Amino acid sequence: MNRQEYMEKLSKALESFGSDIKEEIVSDYEEHFNDGLANGKSEEQIISELGSVEDLVKELKDLSNGAQDNVDEEAQREKFEQQAKKTFDDISKAFASFVGSMAAGITKGAGKIGEELSGGAGDFAKSMSNAADVVANKSKQFAKDIAESYRNARGPVETEEQEYEGEELITSVAFSDITEVIAETDCADIVVEPSADGSVHFDCDYDATPGQKLGYKIDYHCEDGKAYAIIKKKSATSGFFKKLLGPETLYVKIPDRFERINLSSLSGDVDVSNVTVKRADLKTMSGDVVINAVNNKDVYASTMSGDVNAVNLSAVIAELKTISGDVEFSGDSENLSVSSTSGDLNVKAERTKVVRAVSVSGDINLELEGIDGYNAKVDTKSGDIDLFFGNEAHEDVKRGTYTLGSGACDITASSVSGDIKVEA
């Protein structure tokens, strides 16, 4: 088959899809042929790349399934409108005949006025009641037809919306006497802020069309002093198949000196600021973890592809992990552990007793304050190692264990290809 034959076949096969679609695809294909030929391809090669006309037609049907639904809906609406119009016409006709017979009755009555007055009146009344019956029956049928057509045309949508309304009601709640918060989201960011009234508050802005909200659930509940907020798609992968839109952010407000927060998001960020919590577990797959001015006993933060950024964090134990992002820490922590596979680790810490820093290809920078010395076990395959403490300096040293000052702070730092620098 050559270009001309192929294009003729295409043109013919697309006939049934309407001239807009046909013309657009034909012109796309013509352009593709021109570019392909200009790139030194043969007509046969281009034809095989484009694929068979039969396959295209099949895919055009498959790929436009969604659009096809719209067409069906359109057709149904049209059918409904036609039915409504027909019923309306019937009613009009019945009404016309009612008026007609009324007029006939009057004429008849008037013609025989005097001698047959009662008879004329009787006829008039009879024809009127006949016509009224016709109208009444037609009206009933009309109402029935409308209800049925409406159900046919709108039925499934109506059910879904009802179902959805039940869930949409709550985007904001408050729970009291709570010691622990568990929040899970897929796309939404999680933001934790202090609460002003001692209660736990969950709140999310939800700005989307009913259709986009259909696949989402917002579940807030509490049990045994724990408050749960779960914002997720009903099915993890439904977004491929249907356009869905979830809330962008879940706001969590917690009282001061809170026991525990356990937050996880798939692709959203986790952002905690200005709170005091005994234990915080913060997880995200592809988002960032941001901690600002937080007082913790223990904090565990991890992300796969995002950064972990902790500023003014005060924690007894702090464990900050990422795979491909960077870790930044500033604050104080007795026992600090930071790790990243390919990112850098930057730490500015006060009063630390134990620091563990592990990276594969990133650099490690530790600036430690308020300590009177450290014992560093350092290792890198191809990076440089520089260690400073006051006036003491060990520059460009090999892997090994070095004691500076009192050696009180226990440091372990290892990287494969990154540099390691410790300053105190």
Angle at 97 between CA 95 and CA 103, to 5 degrees: 105
CA-to-CA dists, residue 308 to 338, 378, 398, angstroms: 9, 23, 29
What's 406's DSSP letter?
T
Beta carbons of 309 and 294 less than 8 angstroms apart? no
Of 67 and 113, CB closest to other proteins = 67
Among residues 369, 347, 354, 335, the alpha carbon closest in space to that of 410 is found at: 354
Query: Does residue 35 belong to the site contacting other proteins (CB under 8 A)?
Result: yes
As given in the structure block, the two tokens for residue 390 are 């006051």
Strands 373-380 and 400-405: antiparallel
Q: Please tell me whether residue 36 binds other proteins under the rule CB under 8 A.
A: yes
Residues binding other proteins: number (CB under 8 A) = 39
CB of 46 to other proteins, least distance (A): 8
Is residue 241 at the binding interface for other proteins, with CB under 8 A as the rule? yes
For the chain, first and last CA: distance in Å?
A: 77
Give the C-alpha separation, 40 to 122, whole Å: 94
Q: What is the nearest approach in angstroms of other proteins to the Cβ of residue 304?
A: 8
Looking at the DSSP bridge assignments, the partners of residue 173 are: 202
What part of residues 293-322 is at the interface with other proteins (CB under 8 A)? 304-305
Give the nearest distance from C-beta 142 to other proteins in angstroms.
37
Q: Counting contacts by CB under 8 A, is residue 25 touching other proteins?
A: yes
Residue 32 makes contact with other proteins by CB under 8 A: yes
Distance CA 363, CA 80 (A): 69
What are the φ/ψ torsions at residue 112 (nearest 5 degrees)? -105, 30
Q: Which range in 136-144, 231-239, 275-283, 291-299 contacts other proteins by CB under 8 A?
A: 231-239
Of the candidate residues 102, 139, 164, 239, the single one contacting other proteins (CB under 8 A): 239
Residue 51 makes contact with other proteins by CB under 8 A: yes
Task: Give least dist CB 172 to other proteins, A.
Answer: 24
| Integer angstrom CA distances of residue 322 from 103, 252, 312, 352, 357 | 90, 24, 19, 21, 12
Residues 251 to 290: which contact other proteins by CB under 8 A?
A: 266-267, 285-286
Distance of CA 391 to CAs 231, 373, 397, 421, Å? 54, 12, 16, 15
CB of 39 to other proteins, least distance (A): 8
- Between 244 and 327, CB nearer to other proteins: 244
Query: Quick check: helix, strand or coil at residue 305?
Result: coil
Give least dist CB 390 to other proteins, A.
46
The nearest distance, CB 285 to other proteins, in angstroms, is 6
Q: Does residue 280 contact residue 272 with C-beta atoms inside 8 Å?
A: yes
Beta bridge partners of 262: 182, 281
Window of 53-61, 135-143, 188-196, 215-223 that interacts with other proteins by CB under 8 A: 53-61
> Could you give the 3-state DSSP secondary structure of residue 40?
coil
- For 123: left if phi > 0, alpha if psi spans -120 to 50, otherwise beta; the answer is alpha
Residue with Cβ nearer other proteins (22 or 154) = 22
Binding segment for other proteins (CB under 8 A), chosen from 28-36, 150-158, 191-199, 389-397, is 28-36
Decide if residue 19 touches other proteins (CB under 8 A): no
187 near other proteins, rule: CB under 8 A: yes
Please report how close the Cβ of residue 40 comes to other proteins at its closest, in angstroms.
12
Q: Is residue 209 part of the contact set for other proteins (CB under 8 A)?
A: no
Considering only residues 142 through 181, tell me which ones interact with other proteins, judged by CB under 8 A: none
**Residue 59 binds other proteins, judged by CB under 8 A:** yes
240 lies in the binding site for other proteins (CB under 8 A): yes
What sign does the CA torsion over 4, 10, 11, 12 have?
Answer: positive
Of 24-32, 150-158, 307-315, 400-408, which segment contacts other proteins by CB under 8 A? Answer: 24-32
Q: Which residues bind other proteins (CB under 8 A)?
A: 21, 24-25, 27-29, 31-32, 34-36, 38-39, 49-52, 55-56, 59-60, 62-65, 67, 186-187, 236-237, 239-241, 266-267, 285-286, 304-305
